[in-house]
Structure 1
Amino acid sequence: MSALVATSRLWDLAPIGLDDLMERAALQTRVDRKYLVPLTEVDALLADLEAGTEILDIDGTRVFTYETVYFDTPELTSYLLTAYRRRRRFKVRTRTYVDSATCWLEVKVAGSRGDTVKHRAPYHREHHATVDPGREFVDSVLTGFGQQASFAPTLVTRYRRCTLFVPATASRVTIDTDLSWHDRHHRLHLPGLAVVETKTSRAVSTVDRRLWRRGHRPTRISKYATGLAALRTDLPDAPWRRVLRQHFTAAPVPLRKESAPCFALPPLPWR
């Protein structure tokens, strides 16, 4: 059981259903601020939340398992656009909500004002490792990016997430723990680290201010790009070099050759 699942703080918060959360804070176009927080400090952060903060609750479950497959071109176009900080960048991924066995195909693009615009469409879970059935959707979002090359699965991330709603700023906060990454050759698991992300329309949320008071500042991290850089030291990693040195200190573990062709990862203890 993960530490996030075990903490009683999650059960001190009022619940909010998924439909209500999406109605009040869908935030498909938003400003994201990410923080890397030691897992040992998450409980104190939860205790410091403002009154009225609610937590996503679906049938009594408040911590959910996510699995995301990221796709890139043979030249790693998506990765390199981010590594070289190009303004017009994108990500293509499938996201599987393991607990509900639902899946979405998502394309995220950088907006004109530094925000993030996410496009998503329902997807069959059995297609989670390919974009071929959804290629028309992907191409429609990436019009103007000139991406006609094939997309292949490049990286898989897994983690546990709880989602908070802060009514005062109509913002969301996600806390991800039990973080792991793998490609066809290596796996990296960072159980002692949490990624806290605030998602707002633009204004700073009260959770941002609480994190600042605790000495945490927004960090340049991308689950896709930073994770891939941690697994592949041959790639340019300038935007995340400090993060990699400070937080991604565990060595990637080689995967068995027989497991590589299917792009699969052995279950983690909480699976």
Structure 2
Amino acid sequence: MSRRLLAAMTGALSQLPPITLDKVLAESELQTRVDRKYLVPIATFVELVTRLRDRFGVLEIDGQRSFRYESVYFDTPSLGLYRQHVQRRRYRYKVRTRSYLDSGECSFEVKLKGNRSETVKSRMPYSLADRARLTEPAWEFLAEQLRTAYGVGIVDRLQPALTTTYRRSTLVDRVEHARMTCDVDLRFFDGRASVDVLPAAVLVESKTAGRAGAADLVLRELQVRPIQVSKYCVAAALLNPQLRANPWHRTLRQLTRSG
């Protein structure tokens, strides 16, 4: 992360009161939600936080407001789950482990596309040592989620496809049950190649129970429009240029444009 970007983010987030992890989990743990994603230039991000400072707080743990994340995504050898998303299949899903590197905690997560464009996320605690493989309890958990949501079984055995790392700050709306995550310093790698993205911007995700939240309305005022982006899908497309990636062509250019 560039020093300019780090200084700007740190200064912007210093305007917000701290919120504890317990409060985040108690008030804003949206597992069934609507996600709206934005690529926000750093100057616009500073203005966004300034306009929201009387309403939002920021997650703070041991004086830190930015945390290191790692996600390992699993797919079939032919990237069948990726192709489901390219084809906009009604029943599509992602499978990953999510590691919180600063605390050493980890979870296994299944993200399903639900009705009305909702994202339904289910997760279970996981061993950090197992984050790059699927244990038998993970297979059983995945199978149960697919049976319950879609009435189907696991089509094929899954294997690690790629890894993403980034730094995240989490903002919480103290008026409504909504959350906003702010990611920088993204890196994608798969054992053969790696790609660094977001040179001068913040990937903002607004997570609400349905209708647009306060952050979405401010971003609209700032003339920032939602984009179609999935970390896994854009990572797979950047690391495998031969893949069809029609839904994300514009986003791919934005993510890799130099700042």
- Is TM > 0.5 for Structure 1 vs Structure 2? yes
Whether 1:138 aligns to 2:145 is no
Q: How does 1:95-106 map onto structure 2 within 5 Å?
A: 95-106=98-109
| Identical amino acids, percent of aligned pairs | 42
Partner of 2:172: 165
What residue in structure 2 maps to residue 122 of structure 1? Answer: 125
How large is the Cα RMSD of the aligned pairs?
1.6
Matching of residue 205 in structure 1 with residue 209 in structure 2: no
- Tell me if structure 2 keeps the 8 A contact 1:53–1:166: yes
CA distance in 1, matches of 2:44, 2:257: 19
Counterpart residue number, 1:87: 90
Q: Which moved more, 1:213-222 or 1:140-149?
A: 140-149
- Residues 67-86 of structure 1 mapped to structure 2, 5 A cutoff: 67-86=70-89
In 1, Cα distance between equivalents of 2:183 and 2:38? 10
CA distance 1:204–1:87, shift in 2 (3 Å): same
Q: CA deviation at 1:249?
A: 3.9
| Partner-residue secondary structure (3-state), 2:175 | helix
Matched, 1:149 2:153: no
| Secondary structure of 1:113's aligned partner | helix
Name 1:176's counterpart in structure 2: 183
Letter of the aligned partner of 1:214 in structure 2? L
Give matches, 1:234-245, under 5 Å.
234-245=242-253
Within 5 A, what are the aligned runs for 1:47-62?
47-62=50-65
Q: Distance in 1 between matches of 2:28 and 2:254?
A: 33
Partner residue, 2:15: 12
> Is residue 44–residue 222 contact of structure 2 (8 Å, CA) maintained in 1?
no
Q: CA deviation at 1:183?
A: 1.2
What amino acid maps onto 2:229 in structure 1? I
1:157-183, Cα deviation, whole Å (9 max, x unpaired): 111000001123320000000011111
Q: For the structure 1 residues 57 and 159, does the alpha-carbon distance in structure 2 shift closer, same or farther, using more than 3 Å as the test?
A: same
Structure 1 partner of 2:42: 39
Match in the other structure for 1:107? 110
Deviation, 1:50, is: 4.5
Deviates more, 1:217-226 or 1:162-171: 162-171
Contact 2:98–2:109, Cα closer than 8 Å, also in 1: yes
Q: Is the 8 A contact 1:179 1:193 kept in 2?
A: no
In structure 1, distance between residues paired with 2:33 and 2:96: 18
In the TM superposition, what whole-angstrom CA distance separates every residue of 1:40-95 from its partner, at most 9, and x where no partner exists? 43222222215131111112111000000000011212101111111110000000
CA distance in 2, matches of 1:160, 1:48: 23
> How far apart, in 1, do the equivalents of 2:21 and 2:97 lie?
20
What is the alpha-carbon distance in structure 1 between the residues aligned to residue 21 and residue 152 of structure 2? 33
With the length of structure 1 as denominator, give the TM-score of the two structures: 0.87
Where structure 1 has 5 or more consecutive residues not aligned to the other structure, the ranges are: 251-271
Deviation at 1:21, TM superposition (A): 1.2
Consecutive unaligned residues in structure 2, runs of 5 or more: none
More helix by share: 2
